[in-house]
Amino acid sequence: MTPPPFMINDGKNEIPTLIQRLYAGRKLQVWFGRARVSAIHGWADNPRITLVKKRLKQTFGDRDLTQDELFDVMKKEDEFKLSVLRDDIMKNGLRDPITLAFSGKLLDGNRRFYALKYVLQTLPPADPNRVDFESVLVYVLNDSATPEEEKHVLVEENFSPSLKLEWPDYIKAQNILEEFVAGKNEAEIAEKYNWTRRKVQETKRIGEIIHEFETLSMDPPNAEDEYGGGFGLSEIETQAMAAKNYQFFNEAQKSFFKELNSDLDFKMQFFKWIKEDKFKSFPEVRIAYKAWKDPEARAIIVKSDPNAAKDAKTNLEYNEKIIQGADEAAGRIETFVKFLKQLKVERVAALPKKTITDLEDALKLVSGMTKAANTTETGNERTNKN
């Protein structure tokens, strides 16, 4: 059997090898080796670009795109993210071979092929690194492969899901923190991991929150500490809990990172809520600090009820609606006045000092608002009379 003519065969270091591979349950003989990028043609009928081609018919007419036009399409259309793949290949090389029919038709790897062409277009002709990208590892079906077998390859390479699992976000955050501890700055880390600086910064903040949570979780309980000390969990238990709640820590980073660093009481309470599995959704985490600062919502969220965070969120939303509606506000005030009239002196005396202070402040506020409202009403009456 003879390999296809477009594969490199120098009789020494580069010699195509006939091997057997499994595609969608069918064993096929394929040639494995290298081919020059310049000898490969992109797949004009690739289903991935069907919709793009339809949009371009108004410009190019109802005809097949040339190789140069295909290349331009792949570079310009945002959905292909060709520049991102190009940059990754320049940094890490091409990880996976491309697959071709014996005729040279691309069956898998159209985007990788054009990204390689983009690399070669980007590098200056005199750049010594060009040689690393001028050829590519390929699988080529044997010349005896049938159209049906080509279809099996398409199914396997384009329909079967990749079973590769990325590192969990928790592990990524730990690595980012370690990079900072090692003395690297945001720009260096962003370049190393091919991330944006903003993503590096946000991941660092999440990692910092998690680090404090883990420290508290592994500290032993301490009755003499005003916060009761830590949770007394093992390292494994703590890390498992942090990993499980990673996205809730992410939401905290987005919603109240500054408050976590400035309000120690809230921080300790938030960590306890995480341990207690208080939150069931991102919106519930999002209102945590607002609920903490609102006496009514705080009284709800600190309960052991599994729906406490959800109920606190509902309470906050309801109160916001009341503020916007005059009739609802009037009804709420009337209810509160009735409540005050029913209070006994001994019950008021038993209230916490802060609650009494809050009540006095509220009365002063209402008094001032009433005077302002009366002044405005009187002014309006004079205006109407004139």
Residue pointed to by tokens 């396997």: 156
The burial of 234, by beta-carbon neighbours within 10 Å (0-12 exposed, 13-18 middle, 19 or more buried), is given as exposed
> pLDDT (tens digit, 9 = 90+) per residue, 180-237?
999 999 999 998 887 899 999 999 999 999 999 999 999 999 999 888 999 999 999 9
d(CA 355, CA 367): 18
> pLDDT (tens digit, 9 = 90+) per residue, 110-156?
889 999 999 999 999 999 999 999 999 999 999 999 988 887 787 77
Query: Across the chain, which distance is largest between two alpha carbons, in Å?
Result: 107
Ranges of beta strands (E only) in 83-134 are 98-100, 106-108
**Average pLDDT score, the chain:** 86
- The percent of residues in the chain predicted with pLDDT above 90, rounded, is 51
Report pTM: 0.57
Domain ranges in the chain? Answer: 17-158, 169-277, 345-385
